[in-house]
């Protein structure tokens, strides 16, 4: 692969928080474990636009509070054949009364129709996330408004 640049697939990842102390996560059949809403940024879409769309499609949440950019990185999904993701991480605050729910994924992606089981987890997260999605969870505490 010398001299060949591997393209990065642009992604957004949402750390959705409630009360500044809980993080929304999901699990689903066919997925690698604990995850957060995420997805591919479509052509012509900004990361924030993609974030809003992906959160709505994957969780059903449409009333979002503050959105704060936390980090951007390049993550190696696999080495052979190479697949790289340029991940944009955001903290999103919401007011949500449900402690747990099942959401059927909407949109046009390959996950359409899948059921995601959502639940809130106390911060700091004690479980490792799939796909290194917890890489920036430690930054959430520094973005929580002081009471």
Identify which of 56, 32, 24, 51 has the alpha carbon closest to the alpha carbon of residue 40.
51
Question: What pLDDT, on a 0 to 100 scale, did the predictor assign at position 142?
Answer: 56
**Confidence at residue 122, expressed as pLDDT on a 0 to 100 scale:** 93
Residues of the chain below pLDDT 50: 1, 146-147
pLDDT of residue 90: 98
- Per-residue pLDDT at 127: 84
Check residue 146 and give its pLDDT. Answer: 47
Query: What is the spatial distance between Cα 16 and Cα 91, in angstroms, rounded to a whole number?
Result: 6
| DSSP run (H or E) holding 59 | helix 47-59
């Amino acid at each position: 692969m010398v001299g060949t640049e591997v393209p990065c697939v642009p992604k957004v990842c949402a750390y959705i928080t409630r009360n500044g102390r809980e993080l929304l996560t999901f699990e689903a059949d066919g997925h690698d474990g604990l995850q957060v809403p995420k997805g591919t940024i479509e052509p012509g879409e900004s990361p924030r636009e993609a974030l809003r769309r992906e959160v709505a499609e994957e969780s059903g949440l449409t009333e979002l509070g503050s959105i704060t950019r936390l980090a951007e990185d390049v993550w190696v999904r696999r080495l052979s054949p190479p697949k790289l993701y340029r991940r944009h991480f955001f903290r999103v605050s919401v007011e949500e009364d449900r402690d747990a729910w099942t959401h059927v994924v909407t949109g046009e992606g390959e996950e359409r129709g899948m059921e995601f089981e959502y639940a809130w987890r106390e911060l700091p997260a004690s479980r490792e996330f799939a796909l290194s999605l917890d890489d920036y969870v430690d930054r959430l505490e520094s973005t929580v408004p002081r009471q």
